[in-house]
Chain A
Amino acid sequence: QVQLVESGGGVVQPGRSLRLSCTVSGFTFRSHAMHWVRQAPGKGLEWVAFISYDGSTKYSADSVKGRFTISRDNSKNTLYLQMNSLRAEDTALYYCARDMSTKYTWDSWGQGTLVTVSS
């Protein structure tokens, strides 16, 4: 079955960097666009970034633009989120999600990895 497993979260000081990974199985990764979505503790969902199936097209939310970079390695079935210049407001559970082709939404999600930005 479709599985998405995030990793790489942890506690990091403001201004530092962290890289999240999302390893997938159960579907043809290279055929699907992918996203990162986050949820601050006790808060709502926030879309973070999109990458096309081949990595040629990327979009990101204004709140992370210039600081976060989405990428993928189709040979490793892995999605990444490089997060630089982290701020307290980036503290959240980060989900990777599979794009539901042509439907502009997400049909499979991981369980998330928690990032805490604190000194």
Chain B
Amino acid sequence: QSALTQPASVSGSPGQSITITCTGTRSDVGGYNFVSWYQQHPGKAPKLMIYGVTNWPSGVSNRFSGSKSGNTASLTISGLQAEDEADYYCTSYTTSSTWVFGGGTKLTVL
């Protein structure tokens, strides 16, 4: 099972919006609405930000939003804040009853 494809890095200024893409195949991203996004700060465990492509867990800001088109899912962060600087990972359930992650995207808030 190959990893999902994410850009290695993205950046934006405070207040701006950024989008991180996550490209898979029909066997994962394109086959199910089971795409999730995680935020990970250095030395910390991952934190769930979006599940089921578009849903927010309790307590997560609605500045974070998810979408999907075909085999590509996206995470958009609006109104960038300094504390959003972190690594972001997408993940999807697959047709092999396994889970696959993207390689991760480092978000820098300028």
- Which residues of A approach B to under 8 Å, CB–CB? 35, 37, 44-47, 50, 59-62, 95, 100, 103-107, 109-112
Residue of chain B at shortest CB distance from A62: B1
In the bound complex, CA of A60 to CA of B40 (Å) = 23
The CA of A47 and the CA of B98, in the complex, are separated in Å by: 8
Q: Is the CB of B48 within 8 A of A105?
A: yes
Closest to B58 in A: A107
Known interface pairs A44-B103, A45-B101, A61-B1; A110-B51 also in contact (CB < 8 Å): no
Query: What separation, in Å, do the CA atoms of A109 and B49 have in the docked complex?
Result: 13
Judge whether B101 and A104 touch: CB under 8 Å.
Answer: no
Interface residues of B (CB under 8 A from A): 1, 3, 32, 34, 36, 38, 40, 45-48, 51-52, 55, 57, 89, 91, 93, 97-104
In the bound complex, do residue B104 and residue A104 qualify as a contact, i.e. CB atoms below 8 Å apart?
no
Determine the chain A residues whose CB is within 8 A of the CB of B52 once the complex forms.
103, 105
Closest Cβ–Cβ distance, residue B106 to chain A (whole Å): 11
Contact status B98-A59, CB under 8 Å: yes
Residue of B whose beta carbon sits closest to that of A109? B45
A62: chain B residues within 8 A (beta carbon): 1
B100→A44 contact, CB < 8 A: no
Contacts of B48 in A (CB 8 A): 100, 105-107
**Residues of B contacting A100 in the complex (Cβ-Cβ under 8 angstroms):** 48, 51
Contact of B45 with A47 in the complex, beta carbons under 8 Å: no
How near does chain B come to A109, taking the closest CB pair, in angstroms?
A: 4
Smallest Cβ-Cβ distance to B91: which chain A residue:
A105
Q: Compute how far the CA of A60 lies from the CA of B96 in the bound complex, rounded to whole angstroms.
A: 10
The residue in chain B whose Cβ has the minimal distance to the Cβ of A110 is B45
Q: What separation, in Å, do the CA atoms of A95 and B51 have in the docked complex?
A: 19
Q: Is A104's CB under 8 angstroms from B93's CB?
A: yes
Q: Is there contact, CB below 8 Å, between B104 and A44?
A: yes
Q: List 11 A-B contacts (CB under 8 A).
A: A44-B104, A45-B101, A47-B99, A50-B99, A59-B97, A61-B98, A100-B51, A103-B34, A104-B99, A107-B48, A111-B45
